Amino acid sequence: MQKEVVIIGGGFAGVNLVQRLANLSGIHVTLVDKNNYNFFPPLLYQVATGFLEVSNISYPFRKLLRGRKNISFRFGELQKIFPSENKLLLSTGELKYDYLVLATGTESNYFGIENIRKHAIPMKTVADALEMRNILLFRTEQATFTTDEAERKKLTTIVIAGGGPTGVEIAGMLAEMRKNILEKDYPELNPDRVKIYLVVGAPVLLPPMSKETQQYAYEELTRMGVEVKLNKLVKDYVDDTVIFADGETIKTKLLLWTAGVTAKTFDGIPQESYGKGRRLLVDEYNKVQGLQNIFAIGDTSLQTTDTKWPKGHPQLAQVAIQQGKNLARNFKSLLRGKSLTPFSYHDKGSMAIIGRSKAAADIPRPLLHIKGFIAWVMWLIVHLFSLIHYRNRIKTMYNWTVAYFTKDQSLRLIIRPDNHDYNDCLRLQ
């Protein structure tokens, strides 16, 4: 009988799994996602700063899966799992499964600080990136006509919380916009009075990367005019004031939150199946501990059986991609009655872009630290070819080329639905 596989989440892990199960006899796959499109998270910050369109980094699932006879797409959000019945409840109905794969990624972690959850600007989804772009542009427009000097200072002060790749990349992008764009587009404002702070709870930037890369990122951002504050733990955000654990404060209407992520929890999964960061504990085949036919891959899984990564794999795109491919091989083995292959992560290195012609890359085996223009070109190539469809690559390459030669882009648009209260949408109160 044909086996039913349901995959929740169409990110790096889910899409790679789906694509490798396409047109496989004996199995039917249903991909479930709360969006009707796949998107490329590493380039969200370029959407948020108006250098890329949403269509550059997104592609509709139904078009992507067109022609795959054993693949279906279901629009909906997971609400509850019934493991004993091999059934799950979606916001759009019920589904039965023989095998369930959870590939839902992560969401922003506000560390229980309610004011930050309500008033900071996250960047985990396409909606977040569009909202960030709207707010950044709207605050800048406000700064051009306000007559209150204290208010203008808050409107032109940007605080970015989080020293990982996203925080570093958006800080560098905003610094370049201040230098190359602000004075031309907003002659009413003095670029020198626009302050950009990158605040990090850790003693270094880019904690998972090498010391050479960490130092390079710090020096380059400082040279670009970003004020980097290390060992600065955000405690609260009250009345347009970022409050740090050491008592220092910064007044701003723009707190961009990239400080951490956490996995999602699922109604129906026993509590003992979760580990650190709410990640699902899985065995060497990515099967969730304590459950028979439920698997987890990508950022939502915590696998400690890989001898090179005893504390679990980093929450990176390459881990998700490789786990998706390995699970596809194992599903094929299950159908053929063959033994399964345990997952082993092949570390291809890590990269971070800091600004125009400025990037860093750590390449393992042999360990290489590459920085500057060469690393920047490498970053562009890797990210360009990681986009899911050739149309995304062509559009992105075109926008990057324009931006490189002009140091500008014409995508800074405030887009808002007419039926929304825009003031509430942008949290102006």
Residues taking part in catalysis:
169
> Distance between CA atoms of 416 and 66, rounded to whole angstroms?
31
What's the one-letter identity of residue 180? N
According to DSSP, the residues that pair with 361 across neighbouring strands are: 351, 370
Q: At what angle do helices 12-21 and 317-336 cross, to 10 degrees?
A: 30
Using CB atoms within 10 Å of the CB of residue 18, give its burial: 0 to 12 exposed, 13 to 18 middle, 19+ buried: buried
According to DSSP, the residues that pair with 17 across neighbouring strands are: none
> Distance between CA atoms of 226 and 219, rounded to whole angstroms?
10
According to DSSP, the residues that pair with 80 across neighbouring strands are: 89
The residue length of the chain stands at 429
